[in-house]
Amino acid sequence: MQSFRTELENPVVEQDIIDLEKKIKAFREGKIHDEKFRSLRLARGIYGQRQPGVQMIRIKLPFGKVTFKQLLRIADVADEYASHNLHLTTRQDIQIHYVSLDRTPQLWADLEKDDVTLREACGNTVRNVTASPAAGIDPKEPFDVSPYAHAVFEFFLRNPICQEMGRKFKISFSSNEDDNAYSYIHDIGLIPKINEKGERGFKLMLGGGLGAQPILASIVEDFLPEDQLVPYIESVIRVFDRYGERNNRNKARLKYVIQKLGLDEVLRLVKEERIANKVKTYPINRDGVDIAVIPEPLLIPEVAIDNPLRYEQWLITNTFEQKQKGFYGVYVKVSTGDIPTDQARKFIAAIRPYAADEIRVTQNQGLLLKYVRKEALPALYAALTEVNLSAPGFDSVADVTTCPGTDTCNLGISNSMTLARVLEDLVYNEYEDFVYNRDIKIKISGCMNSCGQHGLAHIGFHGSSLKAGLKVLPSVQVLLGGGTVGDGIGRAADKVIKVPAKRATGVLRTVLEDYRTNGLEHELYHHYYDRQGKDYFYQLLKPLADLTTLTDDEFVDWGHEETFATAIGVGECAGVVIDLVATLLFEADEKIGWAGQAFNKGAWADAIYHSYNVLISSAKALLLDKNINQGSQAGIIKEFDANYVEKGEFSLPGTFSDLVLQINKNEPSEEFAKAYFAKAENFLSAVKVKRQELVQQ
């Protein structure tokens, strides 16, 4: 660990990495329960793969921003520790695969040399804050949302209120009303607005999510002033942490809290929580994100374009003029989001003379370059062609979004990566006119959980299986009609029919042919779908679902040679509930230590929240002795009163609820932090005494 101490300048990050190494050692020695360790490593971006004994590492890139140096650093790390490949995700992260758990502390330390983090990239935390990749150069934007996304990322990183929630929490910033960061599928989605006074603020959507049960977000604020952005999000997270489900992970997102309590009640609780916030107002540093260094004008070499038609397609589909006149944004289409490390290095060398030193990862697994001069576009295209990254059709029908599926994910049912490549080739070879169509989005997930965002696709597929006699074959659920409407409004795709996976190409041909033949002139796909109706498409695709015509190759999944067999592992998209009394009391001891440290640093709000968690963990431990396993913190508070305080088995001056919920009735002052910490410490001591009495009975 000495190397971390000498090489890292940030003592907080250094301590994070030291703690990770210690926890890995304790886990190897059997001193930490497997499920507890799983939760801990997930919050540090370390995710178990489908393949035993290796990890996927998710690298957190706030709003997808990465510099040339950072991308090269990630490539070097992937070569040293992983499988020589970078995978771009729909949440603007980069993932690397096949990493040994024991090497993750050093891997993290190497990344941090260029200010790249793993912290809270997975697990029950605030995940990567996403934003429109064009933010800052978007001609339609009221203002650049990048500094706001960065401020939210910084405020909630390592924040005690969101380290051990029931599930993940996702936040997005769109740059304009086109809503290309999908505000309507996020726990909190934001669209920038300027009011009649010229003040900045945001339209705010609450409680969206995809997964197996898509729920679209509700618009709850038409104009939230910019200095109220962080306080509002903090209040929402506090409510989610208290009322969110923890036992049934399938019901543990914010959307289910709203479904259970009602939107009005959740908004009332959010308002009630404001008094406890760390901040009541939070001015955003509009200069908080480094300005991209624009490349100097240079003598552009003359290049010969071998395929002028292809170049014209690329100009139309992959470039746009920025709001900064004379400069262009250039999208780079990356098939299935995979860039081998050698290609990544050649890519940086190719673009360095022509683009600003700021790349954005896009939500459809591509890349955006900024500040390319118009006269440099031919040379840039030629340079991208040399590294095989100049395919036209970015964000078009030919640009299919996909998750890794059965390549590496535990939850994958069928292969999504190969299918995505097959469908892209089909469009390029058979429907070249659709390369210009940005109205229709095709998205694929390897299972129902929508990591490939099939739930918001115009044409979506998710992995499944079908039974034909005694045999099982890979299949896809076909979904149609989803997508973005705009300004916070979206559509969840309809499940239409399930077909063998090898017939997905037939589905795409059938739908595109019908749209081409029966769509009205200039008719958008959504209008065409609504006019025809869901049953029309069911009948249209029904022949493809006929299992009496199966061939042998349809029992083999895309990209495979062996006969299909369903093999689904335990997913790690969120932490697993820990029901061990000793573990809970150990955690409470750890948290009381954190509370003391925060208090000594003058971080009153953090000390209070750590103390709150001590009270919850301690109470849950005693409830488990009565085989009461409540799924939310609010439930724990209620059940502890009913089963201990009201029955006289645990003595308190009042109710446990009165004790705990002082947290949202007091300002986070030094005086309250000191008193609340003392009460949490005393409660933990009393719980330990009670626990000993129960053990000895």
Give domain limits for the chain: 2-112, 130-276, 308-386, 410-555, 581-696
CATH 3.30.70 correct for 308-386: yes
**What is the structure's pLDDT at 575?**
35
Residue whose pair of structure tokens reads 């009005």 in the numeric block: 264
Whether pLDDT at 29 is above 90? no
Q: What is the mean pLDDT of the chain?
A: 92
**Two structure tokens written together for 28:** 């190897």
Query: Which top CATH class is 581-696?
Result: mainly alpha
CATH of domain 130-276: 3.30.413.10
Q: Any bridge partners for residue 99, and if so which?
A: 55
DSSP line for 391-406: -S-TTSTT--EE--GG
Confirm whether 130-276 and 410-555 share one CATH topology: yes
Q: What are phi and psi of 391, to 5 degrees?
A: -65, 135
Distances (CA, A) of 295 to 71, 351, 386: 18, 10, 21
Half-sphere exposure of 25 (CA within 13 A, CB side): 8
The answer to whether 488 and 174 are in contact (CB under 8 A) is: no
- pLDDT (average), residues 256-281: 97
**What is the structure's pLDDT at 581?**
80
Distance, CA of 233 to chain centre: 17
Q: Residues near 80 by Cβ (< 8 Å), separated by ≥ 6?
A: 107, 110
CATH 3.30.413.10 correct for 410-555: yes
| Domain 2-112: CATH architecture, name and number where available | Alpha-Beta Complex (3.90)
Whether pLDDT at 71 is above 90? yes
Distance CA 338, CA 404 (A): 10
Whether pLDDT at 296 is above 50? yes
What are the tens digits of pLDDT across the range 174-227? 999 999 999 999 999 999 999 999 999 999 999 999 988 899 999 999 999 999
Distance CA 86, CA 340 (A): 6
**What is the structure's pLDDT at 5?**
47
**What is the structure's pLDDT at 82?**
96
Distance CA 337, CA 671 (A): 52
Residue whose pair of structure tokens reads 């992260």 in the numeric block: 93
Whether pLDDT at 578 is above 50? no
Say what percent of the chain tops pLDDT 90. Answer: 79
- pLDDT (average), residues 674-678: 97
What are the tens digits of pLDDT across the range 604-618? 999 999 999 999 999
pTM of the predicted model as reported, rounded to 2 decimal places: 0.93
| DSSP state letter for 296 | P
Distance CA 697, CA 695 (A): 6
Say what percent of the chain tops pLDDT 70. Answer: 96
The mean-pLDDT minimum among 278-287, 291-300, 654-663 falls in 291-300
Distance CA 301, CA 136 (A): 29
Is the torsion defined by CA of 375, 376, 382, 385 positive or negative? Answer: negative
Strand ordering across the sheet containing 65-66 = 65-66, 359-361, 367-373, 327-332, 319-321
Residue 1 pLDDT grade (very low, low, confident, very high; cuts 50, 70, 90): very low
| 306-337 per-residue burial string, b: 16 or more CB within 10 A, e: under 16 | eeeebbebbbebbbbebeeeebbbbbbbbbbb
What are the tens digits of pLDDT across the range 653-668? 999 999 999 999 999 9
Residue 488 pLDDT grade (very low, low, confident, very high; cuts 50, 70, 90): very high
The answer to whether 504 and 402 are in contact (CB under 8 A) is: no
Whether pLDDT at 580 is above 80? no
Whether pLDDT at 55 is above 90? yes
The amino acid at residue 132 is: S
SS3 for 577? coil
* Higher local confidence (pLDDT), 450 or 649: 649
